[in-house]
Protein backbone atom coordinates (compact mmCIF):
# COMPACT_ATOMS: atom_id res chain seq x y z
CA UNK A 1 0.00 0.00 0.00
CA UNK A 2 1.48 3.32 -1.03
CA UNK A 3 1.44 5.99 1.65
CA UNK A 4 2.62 9.61 1.40
CA UNK A 5 3.91 9.70 4.97
CA UNK A 6 6.37 6.94 5.77
CA UNK A 7 9.20 6.59 8.22
CA UNK A 8 12.65 5.79 6.86
CA UNK A 9 12.82 2.02 6.71
CA UNK A 10 16.24 1.18 8.10
CA UNK A 11 15.80 -1.67 10.59
CA UNK A 12 17.51 -4.86 9.49
CA UNK A 13 16.15 -8.38 9.75
CA UNK A 14 18.67 -9.14 12.50
CA UNK A 15 17.43 -6.22 14.60
CA UNK A 16 13.77 -7.04 14.04
CA UNK A 17 14.26 -10.65 15.10
CA UNK A 18 16.03 -9.74 18.32
CA UNK A 19 13.45 -7.08 19.19
CA UNK A 20 10.75 -9.69 18.56
CA UNK A 21 12.42 -12.17 20.92
CA UNK A 22 12.82 -9.60 23.69
CA UNK A 23 9.67 -7.54 23.22
CA UNK A 24 7.68 -9.58 25.72
CA UNK A 25 10.44 -9.62 28.36
CA UNK A 26 9.91 -6.69 30.71
CA UNK A 27 10.24 -5.66 34.32
CA UNK A 28 6.99 -7.50 35.03
CA UNK A 29 8.75 -10.85 34.64
CA UNK A 30 11.70 -9.78 36.79
CA UNK A 31 9.97 -7.87 39.59
CA UNK A 32 6.27 -8.75 39.76
CA UNK A 33 6.51 -12.55 39.48
CA UNK A 34 7.19 -12.76 43.23
CA UNK A 35 4.03 -10.74 43.91
CA UNK A 36 2.02 -13.03 41.62
CA UNK A 37 3.27 -16.19 43.37
CA UNK A 38 2.58 -14.70 46.81
CA UNK A 39 -0.95 -13.68 45.80
CA UNK A 40 -2.13 -16.54 43.60
CA UNK A 41 0.15 -19.36 44.73
CA UNK A 42 2.52 -21.37 42.55
CA UNK A 43 -0.15 -23.24 40.60
CA UNK A 44 -2.30 -20.12 40.31
CA UNK A 45 0.68 -18.23 38.90
CA UNK A 46 1.31 -20.92 36.29
CA UNK A 47 -2.37 -20.80 35.36
CA UNK A 48 -2.42 -16.98 35.16
CA UNK A 49 0.66 -16.81 32.96
CA UNK A 50 -0.66 -19.60 30.75
CA UNK A 51 -3.95 -17.76 30.16
CA UNK A 52 -2.05 -14.52 29.55
CA UNK A 53 0.28 -16.22 27.08
CA UNK A 54 -2.64 -17.69 25.12
CA UNK A 55 -4.35 -14.28 24.92
CA UNK A 56 -1.14 -12.61 23.74
CA UNK A 57 -0.55 -15.38 21.19
CA UNK A 58 -4.01 -14.87 19.68
CA UNK A 59 -3.55 -11.09 19.58
CA UNK A 60 -0.15 -11.42 17.91
CA UNK A 61 -1.56 -13.77 15.26
CA UNK A 62 -4.10 -11.10 14.34
CA UNK A 63 -1.50 -8.34 14.42
CA UNK A 64 0.84 -10.38 12.21
CA UNK A 65 -1.88 -10.77 9.58
CA UNK A 66 -2.57 -7.02 9.60
CA UNK A 67 1.14 -6.10 9.57
CA UNK A 68 1.75 -8.30 6.52
CA UNK A 69 -1.25 -6.90 4.70
CA UNK A 70 -0.54 -3.26 5.66
CA UNK A 71 3.10 -2.73 6.76
CA UNK A 72 2.66 1.02 7.26
CA UNK A 73 3.64 3.63 9.82
CA UNK A 74 1.20 3.73 12.72
CA UNK A 75 0.50 0.01 12.91
CA UNK A 76 -2.64 -0.88 14.88
CA UNK A 77 -3.99 2.63 15.28
CA UNK A 78 -3.79 2.98 11.49
CA UNK A 79 -5.61 -0.33 11.09
CA UNK A 80 -8.36 0.84 13.44
CA UNK A 81 -8.67 4.11 11.54
CA UNK A 82 -8.69 2.42 8.15
CA UNK A 83 -10.95 -0.52 8.94
CA UNK A 84 -13.27 0.90 11.62
CA UNK A 85 -13.18 4.70 11.61
CA UNK A 86 -11.14 7.83 12.40
CA UNK A 87 -12.54 8.16 15.93
CA UNK A 88 -11.55 4.59 16.78
CA UNK A 89 -8.10 5.12 15.31
CA UNK A 90 -7.62 8.25 17.42
CA UNK A 91 -8.80 6.44 20.56
CA UNK A 92 -6.39 3.56 19.96
CA UNK A 93 -3.48 5.94 19.32
CA UNK A 94 -4.03 8.11 22.39
CA UNK A 95 -4.67 5.06 24.60
CA UNK A 96 -1.43 3.46 23.44
CA UNK A 97 0.48 6.68 24.09
CA UNK A 98 -0.98 6.90 27.60
CA UNK A 99 -0.13 3.23 28.21
CA UNK A 100 3.55 3.74 27.48
CA UNK A 101 3.65 7.05 29.33
CA UNK A 102 2.65 5.18 32.49
CA UNK A 103 4.68 2.07 31.65
CA UNK A 104 7.91 4.00 31.09
CA UNK A 105 7.56 5.56 34.53
CA UNK A 106 7.28 2.12 36.10
CA UNK A 107 10.17 0.83 33.96
CA UNK A 108 12.52 3.59 35.09
CA UNK A 109 11.43 3.12 38.70
CA UNK A 110 12.16 -0.59 38.38
CA UNK A 111 15.62 0.21 37.01
CA UNK A 112 16.36 2.28 40.11
CA UNK A 113 15.14 -0.52 42.41
CA UNK A 114 17.21 -3.18 40.65
CA UNK A 115 20.40 -1.08 40.57
CA UNK A 116 20.11 -0.41 44.30
CA UNK A 117 20.78 -4.10 44.82
CA UNK A 118 24.41 -3.36 43.90
CA UNK A 119 24.55 0.32 44.86
CA UNK A 120 22.34 0.63 47.97
CA UNK A 121 23.68 4.06 48.96
CA UNK A 122 22.78 5.68 45.64
CA UNK A 123 19.18 7.02 45.41
CA UNK A 124 16.94 5.18 42.94
CA UNK A 125 16.11 8.39 41.07
CA UNK A 126 19.76 8.78 40.01
CA UNK A 127 19.70 5.51 38.04
CA UNK A 128 16.26 6.37 36.68
CA UNK A 129 17.55 9.71 35.41
CA UNK A 130 20.61 8.12 33.80
CA UNK A 131 18.55 5.60 31.87
CA UNK A 132 15.97 8.23 30.91
CA UNK A 133 18.78 10.15 29.19
CA UNK A 134 20.07 6.98 27.51
CA UNK A 135 16.64 6.04 26.16
CA UNK A 136 15.98 9.63 25.05
CA UNK A 137 19.25 9.79 23.12
CA UNK A 138 18.66 6.40 21.47
CA UNK A 139 15.31 7.71 20.16
CA UNK A 140 16.65 11.14 19.24
CA UNK A 141 18.91 9.98 16.44
CA UNK A 142 18.16 7.91 13.34
CA UNK A 143 16.20 4.69 13.36
CA UNK A 144 19.43 2.86 12.48
CA UNK A 145 21.01 3.99 15.77
CA UNK A 146 17.83 3.10 17.65
CA UNK A 147 17.65 -0.32 16.01
CA UNK A 148 21.26 -1.15 16.86
CA UNK A 149 20.93 -0.01 20.48
CA UNK A 150 17.69 -1.97 20.82
CA UNK A 151 19.41 -5.04 19.38
CA UNK A 152 22.10 -5.08 22.06
CA UNK A 153 19.78 -4.14 24.91
CA UNK A 154 17.35 -6.84 23.78
CA UNK A 155 20.23 -9.33 23.64
CA UNK A 156 20.94 -8.68 27.33
CA UNK A 157 17.33 -9.47 28.24
CA UNK A 158 17.27 -12.66 26.18
CA UNK A 159 20.56 -13.88 27.67
CA UNK A 160 19.34 -13.04 31.20
CA UNK A 161 16.08 -14.98 30.75
CA UNK A 162 17.93 -18.00 29.31
CA UNK A 163 20.38 -17.91 32.23
CA UNK A 164 17.53 -17.71 34.77
CA UNK A 165 15.73 -20.62 33.10
CA UNK A 166 18.88 -22.77 33.15
CA UNK A 167 19.74 -21.91 36.76
CA UNK A 168 16.13 -22.42 37.89
CA UNK A 169 15.94 -25.79 36.14
CA UNK A 170 19.22 -26.90 37.75
CA UNK A 171 17.92 -25.89 41.20
CA UNK A 172 14.60 -27.69 40.71
CA UNK A 173 16.32 -30.85 39.49
CA UNK A 174 18.76 -30.78 42.42
CA UNK A 175 21.84 -30.20 40.29
CA UNK A 176 22.50 -26.85 41.95
CA UNK A 177 22.09 -26.41 45.69
CA UNK A 178 21.09 -23.16 47.38
CA UNK A 179 21.94 -22.07 50.91
CA UNK A 180 19.57 -20.87 53.62
CA UNK A 181 16.05 -21.96 54.45
CA UNK A 182 14.99 -22.17 50.81
CA UNK A 183 13.73 -25.60 49.77
CA UNK A 184 12.98 -25.44 46.04
CA UNK A 185 11.24 -28.29 44.30
CA UNK A 186 8.25 -29.24 42.22
CA UNK A 187 6.38 -30.21 45.39
CA UNK A 188 6.04 -26.49 46.23
CA UNK A 189 3.51 -26.15 43.41
CA UNK A 190 0.92 -28.06 45.46
CA UNK A 191 2.34 -27.77 49.00
CA UNK A 192 -0.11 -25.01 49.98
CA UNK A 193 -2.99 -26.22 47.82
CA UNK A 194 -3.89 -25.29 44.27
CA UNK A 195 -5.21 -21.85 45.26
CA UNK A 196 -4.02 -20.99 48.79
CA UNK A 197 -5.73 -17.58 48.75
CA UNK A 198 -8.72 -18.59 46.65
CA UNK A 199 -9.19 -18.85 42.91
CA UNK A 200 -10.30 -15.22 42.81
CA UNK A 201 -6.71 -14.15 43.41
CA UNK A 202 -5.76 -15.65 40.06
CA UNK A 203 -7.98 -13.08 38.36
CA UNK A 204 -6.57 -10.35 40.62
CA UNK A 205 -3.05 -11.07 39.39
CA UNK A 206 -4.06 -11.11 35.72
CA UNK A 207 -3.40 -7.35 35.53
CA UNK A 208 0.22 -7.87 36.60
CA UNK A 209 0.51 -10.85 34.25
CA UNK A 210 -0.78 -8.91 31.25
CA UNK A 211 1.57 -6.05 32.12
CA UNK A 212 4.45 -8.54 32.11
CA UNK A 213 3.57 -9.44 28.51
CA UNK A 214 3.27 -5.81 27.39
CA UNK A 215 5.72 -4.92 24.65
CA UNK A 216 4.94 -7.82 22.35
CA UNK A 217 2.81 -5.45 20.25
CA UNK A 218 5.98 -3.51 19.38
CA UNK A 219 6.52 -5.96 16.55
CA UNK A 220 3.57 -4.37 14.77
CA UNK A 221 5.15 -0.92 15.15
CA UNK A 222 8.52 -2.28 14.03
CA UNK A 223 7.00 -3.55 10.78
CA UNK A 224 6.56 0.06 9.69
CA UNK A 225 10.31 0.69 9.96
CA UNK A 226 11.72 -2.58 8.66
CA UNK A 227 13.73 -2.65 5.44
CA UNK A 228 11.82 -5.66 4.15
CA UNK A 229 8.04 -5.31 4.39
Kindly state the average pLDDT of the residues 166-178. Answer: 82
Looking at residue 126, its pLDDT comes to 92
pTM for the whole structure: 0.71
Contacts of 213 (CB under 8 A, 6+ apart): 24, 26, 28, 52, 53, 56
Tell me the C-alpha distance between 29 and 72, whole Å.
30
Residues of the chain with pLDDT > 90, as a percent, come to 5
CB 32 within 8 A of CB 211: yes
pLDDT band with cut points at 50, 70 and 90 for residue 190 = confident
Q: Which of 228, 226, 203, 188 is nearest to 52 (CA)?
A: 203
User: Cα 166–168–170 angle (5° rounding)?
Assistant: 70
> Pseudo-torsion of CA 102, 164, 33, 188, nearest 10°?
180
List pLDDT tens digits, range 120-152. 889 989 999 998 898 888 777 766 777 777 788
* Whether residue 195 has pLDDT greater than 60: yes
Per the model's pLDDT, the better-predicted residue between 215 and 127 turns out to be 127
Per-residue pLDDT of 58-78, as tens digits, reads: 988 888 888 888 877 778 888
Helix residue ranges, H only, 116-205: 124-140, 143-172, 200-204
> What distance in Å separates the CA atoms of residue 124 and residue 36, rounded to the nearest whole number?
24
Amino acid sequence: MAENTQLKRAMSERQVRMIGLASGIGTGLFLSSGYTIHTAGAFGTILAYTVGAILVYLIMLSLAELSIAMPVTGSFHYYAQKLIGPATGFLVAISYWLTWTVALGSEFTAIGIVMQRWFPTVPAWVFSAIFIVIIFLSNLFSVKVFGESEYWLASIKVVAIIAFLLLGSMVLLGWLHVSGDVHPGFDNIFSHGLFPNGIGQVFTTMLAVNFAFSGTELMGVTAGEAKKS
